[in-house]
Amino acid sequence: MNDRLHPTAIRPSPIELEARFGAHNYHPLPVVLTRGEGVWLRDTEGRRYLDMMSAYSAVSFGHGHPVLVAALTEQAARLAVTSRAFHSDRLGPFLERLCTLTGMDRALPMNSGAEAVETALKAARKWGYKVKGIPDGQARIVVAARNFAGRTTTIVGFSSEAQYRDGFGPFAPGFDTVPFGDLAALEAAIGEHTCAVLLEPIQGEAGIVVPPPGYLRAARELCTRRNVLLLCDEIQTGLGRTGRRLAVDHEDVVPDGLTLGKALGGGLLPVSAFLAREDVMAQFTPGDHGSTFGGNPLAAAVGLAALDLLERERLAERAAAMGERLIGALQALAHPAVREVRGRGLLVGVELAPGFASARAVCEALMAQGVLTKDTHGTVVRLAPPLVIDAPQIDFAVAAFARALKACGG
């Protein structure tokens, strides 16, 4: 039916179209967004919302930052994608800047965070066989329970979340799981065939879980002593989110391998990378690994602009100050429905007391108050705004949170 010939025909809403034609693998809040600027989003009805999730840290620089949009549009008009079959004038400077800022020797660019983690796993296994001398096919990697590193079959295979695994096996072997933050368990899990330990410095999807003080430093010392690679997944925590350039910087830890993503694309496109010391990255030779889009000129130009912006606007320092304000104000609410406020910088989780409304219900109440964010596992409200947020906006979010709790019966 042609709607032009039938002006009374009613088109389905965007939500209805998504429900009809999309896979039902998400359960979004009932809001249809159409514009974003800085820390603010607008829906199709013109309502404005404070973004307190920033796309799981992908929009760390805010929506539509003019510097990043300019880098994107200028490069898109010149050259966007060539594949790594050829060199580009954008990739080298991007890799140099990435390695300089992180202290790593080399970087391998990819697209999604999951691809970066898969790259790290391949590098660690090959290093285990070629350098450490582990018998072929017997390399093992230690991971933490309640980890989240992506959705590929290898990664969900070492997840401890039943839903992430249900119906997707068989899974790749070679992973040993230990409780996050338990150093004794980590040491006991490392055997002669262990090639690597993979850890998030702060577990995001698990509910913003911060390990005990000194845990990462002790894990670093343990891995060095046992000749095992320490791989740190900083896809959500990296690039200023926790108040330092990297979350491992809080304990002066230098990992052997590092994954970055999300914020690296400036909130404009997917950009990720695996970074490592020389002997780890040297295990890759031409033909071992690749990506059609990984390291494309457009991604490199935006990534380079994002890294420069991170330093020029001192966004890590800003995250530290605004995060202290956010955590302090939430704790000062002293609300009986709040069991715990935890996090670092602008990566904050509010765990709700048992018996109170679900975290999803609180997020829906927050939406009604002009704040958008997401729950995790039904019990924790995630608060992780763009790093460009200011003090009045932090105060607005906390006041809205208090009203949302009241609306939910608290």
Active site positions, annotated: 148, 233, 262
Residue-by-residue DSSP string for 80-99: ----TTS--TTHHHHHHHHH
- Phi then psi dihedrals of residue 96, to 5 deg: -60, -45
**Residue 128: closest CA among 79, 185, 197:** 197
CB-based burial of residue 79 (10 Å sphere; 0-12 exposed, 13-18 middle, 19+ buried)? middle
Cα–Cα distance for residue pair 208/180, rounded to 1 Å: 12
Cα–Cα distance for residue pair 14/47, rounded to 1 Å: 16
Question: Residue 303, Cβ neighbours under 10 Å: how many?
Answer: 31
Cα–Cα distance for residue pair 397/325, rounded to 1 Å: 11
- Contact yes or no for 175/190 (Cβ under 8 A): no
- Contact yes or no for 252/266 (Cβ under 8 A): no
Residue-by-residue DSSP string for 200-221: -SSBTTTTSBPPPTTHHHHHHH
